[in-house]
Structure 1
Amino acid sequence: MDHVLYGARKPYVVADSLDDLRGPTKGRIALPHHLDWSGDPGYDLDRPARLATMYKTVLNEASSVEDLHTWIDRQLLIQLWPQLWLPPRLRQLWERKFPELAAVGTATA
């Protein structure tokens, strides 16, 4: 039996539409435990590094489209996309569904 890496079989969630992503864009937020179990789920969205970390966390750990709708904002996702470190398969799933993300990634590369 061949060994398959976890990232290749992990079930990722992708939004149905970028327009449905209307999460918070500033201030302090706390992610629910099912998204961030690190012990400190607080994020200051006015700090660019914390904002990017929160987006990476939500995109990696979302268990439903509702998680994405609640915590991700369309404009911020597009803005942050090129700099987000994401597992290759997760990035590929999003870019296949939303070519505008792939375009913004290559435009800034």
Structure 2
Amino acid sequence: MDLLLHLAWSGLTTFNLDDEQLLLGLYRIVLTNGLREDITAYLNADLLVHHWPRLRVALGKPVRSCWEQRFPRLVATAAA
């Protein structure tokens, strides 16, 4: 999957989503810098929930808190 320039302005622009590290990297970029349209275009809710326990560690506290406040299912997944 290729990220648009406003997201991938520095570094890697193409992500193989079969590679968990690359998938987590793409999700971190989109969660941190993405616009609403990017979130709906690039993220899959089931994958986000599944990978949240590892992904949340890579996010800054403000981003992590924002997502967990908006989606309590992420908090439950992280606690499991």
Which category of TM-score, normalised to the shorter sequence, fits these structures?
Answer: over 0.9
1:56 matched to 2:53? The reply is: no
Larger radius of gyration: 1
Query: What amino acid is the match of 2:54?
Result: Q
**Alignment partner of 2:15 out of 12, 24, 43:** 43
TM-score if structure 1 supplies the norm length?
0.69
Runs of 4+ in 1 over 6 A off after TM superposition: none
TM-score if structure 2 supplies the norm length?
0.92
**Alignment partner of 2:74 out of 95, 101, 106:** 101
Distance 2:67 2:12 in 1: 27
Distance 2:12 2:21 in 1: 15
Pick the structure with more helix per residue.
Answer: 2
Unaligned runs of 5+ in 2: none
Q: Percent identity?
A: 36
Q: Can you list the C-alpha shifts for 1:39-89, whole angstroms capped at 9, x where unaligned?
A: 430000001111111100111111x21110000000000011110110101
Pick the structure with more strand per residue.
Answer: 1
TM-align CA RMSD? 0.9
* Structure 2 SS opposite 1:32: coil
- Larger RCO (CA within 8 A; separation ≥ 6): 1
Unaligned runs of 5+ in 1: 1-28
Distance 2:49 2:70 in 1: 14
> How many equivalent residue pairs?
78
